[in-house]
A and B are shown apart, each in its own frame.
Chain A
């Protein structure tokens, strides 16, 4: 058996299915439901076995179409920075509010992806988010939580 990334993913999926199966057995069902033909853990138990069966087969059978991913062509740095920007966005959106966190997220993302035209970066962040918020909050009456804008008195 030749080890490749697909095999490793299949192995991880096998482990996940085994853990899922173990967790399915741990589901606490009502005592009167314990011997019922179907209870809350029946379907998950079958799913756990199905996951182990298919990932096990994938592990055992040699690969028909081995996937060669040329890592030298992958942009890991930009992708990781982008994911971090989204996490930062998720952390700040409740505390700082929609306007500031979204605008900062957009500025950071444009910058991380290599954009250096600051005029365009500005237009497609702060004014863009302001228009978007006006359409959503002002026109469509969709509630948007924004402590910052509330603090400076722009939003009620």
Chain B
């Protein structure tokens, strides 16, 4: 392990990779700050660029963008009460009231310190947990992987979009359908290509991510342009106040950070839970821990009310890497995008990544620490300047997003069929978004589609067509029972609320 850590430090501290972390954090902060654009969009826009680098550098750049975007999302939550991502909604509960009281600088500092601490503590947990889990997961077989992938999809559908389980499951199936287009990997038989050569290689992952996130988000912003509930209430973006914290405030944060980090990391590891649930749980938990005086301040500008969700959402981001790096199964939409990018590099994350590509495994973990430091020392002093980006008019912002999306796809294939396909998918995604059909399950399913089919193929061939592989091994059986319980509970929940 020590050897691996040293390899990771050496790779992460190379000039090129350090530069990538900085660029990633900076670009991620800017993109994540723009309301409506979250880490998935930020990473999606970066993917075409990362293909120009080696896998370790590409992944380090994406990890930097990820952290930067989460941090940027907090900034827009605090300054204009417009969370860039669902994971920073809880941040706005106390962050925005602080900004309204003229303490925007202080709120941003609390968010930055909490993010740094949460991310760093969780990265230490990741350092300890990932190698051990990698060894355990080597005993997993195809039926277990198949079960885990269904569990991941079901959990994302159940937890990431409360009350929309069936819509999320429909999106999962839609993602799997899109992934099945093109030649079958084993027999090379064309499927759903409608006799066009343009579809014989399947639909590009970058195309689907760009269409369902970057492009459809841009179109949704324009479509909802007149919606009065979406109008951002502006506070001064130039007079943010001091960023210094006094001893009392620091002491309060020191109590909050450890418990929120542990909670955030555990929630992040669970498939489907992620930063949003982590931040809300941490907010609720912190409210129960604080004294009566502080409890009264929750929702009106409490330091602990701001620190808890910020710590937890960053810890959850690190936690989300555990299933990705050790099992090769992403637990969230964002890590699904990263998995897709890794597969594009020809790398299959999973238990063997630890042995076959230690430089990637460890350099990603090490770059997390560096990313946290960069966010703190580079972004915090620059926040008053970066925040002015929030004032960029949409008339310029939206065409730029569309331009980067189209260019990203064009540069990969030099084929305008892909551009038209992207527009088609983006328009469908925009309509679906309007009616609350969630997009992360679609992406997760699209990325997992090939792997799921492969593991189902192996399982069925080994068991000679019998579905008994689903309950023959205790581990697979446990996974399947969990899936069934989630599905039955969600359907029962829908029926119960309908009767009410």
**Pair A40/B184 contact, Cβ less than 8 Å:** yes
Q: Using CB atoms, name the residue of chain B closest to A72.
A: B226
Enumerate chain A residues within 8 angstroms of B226, measured Cβ to Cβ: 73-75
Q: How far is the CA of A83 from the CA of B464 in the complex (A)?
A: 50
Encode B408-438 as 1/0 by CB contact (under 8 A) with A: 0011001010011001000100111011110
Is B166's CB under 8 angstroms from A58's CB?
yes
A64–B403 touching, CB < 8 Å: no
Give the docked Cα–Cα distance between A75 and B166 (Å).
28
B436 pairs with A86, CB closer than 8 A: no
B6 within 8 A of A: no
Residue of B nearest to A114 (CB): B395
Query: Are B396 and A29 neighbours in the complex by a CB distance under 8 Å?
Result: no
Complex alpha-carbon distance, A43 and B465, angstroms: 13
In the complex, chain A residues whose CB is within 8 Å of the CB of B186: 40
Cross-chain contact of A75 among B223, B432, B434, B491 (Cβ < 8 A): B223
Residues of A with C-beta under 8 A to B219: 79, 82-83
Chain A 1-18, CB-CB to B under 8 Å as 1, else 0, gives 000011001100100010
- Contact residues in B for A36 (Cβ distance below 8 Å): 461
Most buried by B among A6, A65, A86: A86
What's the Cα separation between A78 and B219 when bound, in Å?
A: 9
Instruction: Select one of A5, A62, A73 contacting B224, CB under 8 A.
Output: A73
CA distance A89 to B419 in the complex (A): 9
B471 contacts partner chain A, Cβ-Cβ < 8 Å: no
Q: Which of the residues B407, B453, B464 comes within 8 Å of A37, measured between beta carbons? A: B464
- Encoded as 1 (CB less than 8 Å from any B CB) or 0, chain A from 91 to 115 comes to 1011000100010011001100111
For chain A, the count of residues having a C-beta within 8 Å of the partner chain is 68
User: Are B173 and A50 in contact (CB-based, < 8 A)?
Assistant: yes
**Which residues of the other chain, B, contact A89 by a CB distance below 8 angstroms?**
406, 419
B457 at the interface (CB under 8 A from A): yes
- Complex contacts, A91 vs chain B, CB 8 Å: 416
C-alpha gap A17/B178 in the complex (Å): 12
Whether A90 pairs with B223 at a CB distance below 8 angstroms is: no
Tell whether, in the assembled complex, residue B393 and residue A115 are in contact, meaning their CB atoms are under 8 Å apart. yes
Q: How far is the CA of A110 from the CA of B226 in the complex (A)?
A: 17
- Shortest Cβ gap from A93 to chain B (Å): 6
A78/B180 in contact, CB under 8 A: no
In contact, A37 and B465 (Cβ under 8 angstroms): yes
* Chain B residues within 8 Å of A144, by CB: 411
User: B187 at interface (Cβ–Cβ under 8 A)?
Assistant: yes
Q: What is the bound-complex CA distance between A44 and B190, given in angstroms?
A: 12
On whether the beta carbons of B402 and A82 are closer than 8 Å, the reply is yes
Roughly how many angstroms separate A70 CA and B435 CA in the complex, as a whole number? 11
Report B-chain residues with C-beta under 8 Å of the C-beta of A67. Answer: 434-436
The answer to the question of A134 belonging to the interface, with a C-beta cut-off of 8 Å to chain B, is: no
Residues on A with C-beta less than 8 A from B420 are: 87, 90
Q: Is B163 an interface residue (CB 8 A)?
A: yes
* Residues of B with C-beta under 8 A to A44: 177, 180, 191-192
Chain B: minimal CB distance from A28 (Å): 7
User: Does A155 make an interface contact (CB < 8 A)?
Assistant: no
In-complex Cβ contact of A73 among B227, B396, B400 (8 A): B227
CA distance A67 to B163 in the complex (A): 12
Whether B498 is near chain A, meaning CB under 8 Å from some CB there, is yes
- Complex Cα spacing A90 to B426, Å: 14
Q: Contact between B498 and A62 (Cβ–Cβ < 8 Å)?
A: yes
Bound: A61/B499 CA distance, A? 11
Q: Which residues of A contact B170 (CB under 8 A)?
A: 10, 13, 51, 54-55, 58
Is B427 touching A83 in the complex (CB atoms < 8 A)? Answer: yes
Known A64-B163, A113-B398; judge A90-B498 contact (CB<8 A): no
Whether A64 pairs with B497 at a CB distance below 8 angstroms is yes
B448 smallest CB distance to A (angstroms): 12
Closest Cβ–Cβ distance, residue B225 to chain A (whole Å): 4
Whether A86 pairs with B189 at a CB distance below 8 angstroms is: no
Min Cβ gap A19→B in Å is: 10
Which residues of chain A come closer than 8 Å to B456, judged between CB atoms? 38, 42-43
B391 to A: closest C-beta gap in Å: 14
Contact of B173 among A29, A54, A74, A115 (CB under 8 A): A54
CB distance from B28 to the nearest CB of A (A): 20
Given A74-B224, A86-B406, is A42 in contact with B460 using a C-beta cutoff of 8 Å?
Answer: yes
Determine whether B169 belongs to the interface, using a CB cutoff of 8 Å to chain A.
Answer: yes
Q: Which residues of A contact B402 (CB under 8 A)?
A: 82, 86, 105, 109
A154 close to chain B: CB less than 8 A: no
Which chain B residues lie closer than 8 Å to A20 at the CB level? 177, 192
CA distance A65 to B493 in the complex (A): 13
Q: From residue B305, how far is it (CB to closest CB) to chain A in Å? A: 27
> By the criterion CB–CB under 8 Å, are B453 and A43 in contact?
yes
Shortest beta-carbon contacts, A-B, top 4: A37-B465, A109-B399, A90-B419, A115-B395
Which residues of A are at the interface with B, using a C-beta cutoff of 8 A? 5-6, 9-10, 13, 17, 20, 23-24, 27-30, 33, 36-44, 47, 50-51, 54-55, 57-58, 61-62, 64-65, 67, 69-70, 73-76, 78-79, 82-83, 86-87, 89-91, 93-94, 98, 102, 105-106, 109-110, 113-115, 120, 124, 136, 140, 142, 144-145
B residues bordering A, Cβ < 8 Å? 52, 163-164, 166-167, 169-170, 173-174, 176-177, 180, 184, 186-187, 189, 191-192, 219, 222-228, 393-396, 398-400, 402-403, 406-407, 410-411, 414, 416, 419-420, 423, 427, 430-432, 434-437, 452-453, 456-457, 460-461, 463-465, 491, 494-495, 497-498
Can you show 5 pairs from A to B with CB atoms below 8 A apart? A13-B170, A44-B192, A61-B494, A89-B406, A89-B419
Beyond the given A37-B465, A70-B227, A86-B423, could you list 14 further A-B residue pairs with CB under 8 A, ordered by the A residue number? A27-B189, A29-B189, A37-B461, A38-B461, A41-B191, A44-B180, A54-B169, A61-B495, A62-B498, A76-B223, A78-B225, A86-B419, A90-B420, A115-B396
